[in-house]
Amino acid sequence: MFCNIHSSMSAVIVVVASPYFATTKQDGTFNIAGVPPGQYNLSVFHERASEAAVARLSRKITVGPDDESFPNIVISEAGYLSIPHKNKYGHDYPTDSGDPAYPGNKP
């Protein structure tokens, strides 16, 4: 999702078909609480990693009755390219010329 005023602002929405998911903390760690024992597919996502890179990191895991920890997962951003895009109207973003009428400038 892109900001219609600022070309450098964006958001990512990830939808998962499971109640078991996590977002990493600032230090990269995560915790998924309450997962019943069993076998699961662990998938990862990073907005600057290629689809192939995150697919290689997916793995089958077995959760036992006790807390589990897994080896570190390192996600590479190699190959990430910021691709210019148009605003929601299909037009280029306006440039900030110092004009107070520019939507990104606050009065």
Helices (H) and strands (E) in the chain, counts: 1, 2
Mean of all residue pLDDT scores within the chain: 80
DSSP 57: H
* Cα separation, 54 vs 22, whole angstroms: 16
Q: Which residue has the higher pLDDT, 32 or 11?
A: 32
pLDDT per residue over 42-90, tens digit each? 998 888 888 888 888 899 999 998 877 777 888 877 777 777 778 878 8
Residue 105 has pLDDT above 70, yes or no: no
Compute the average pLDDT of residues 85-107: 67
- The model's pTM: 0.61
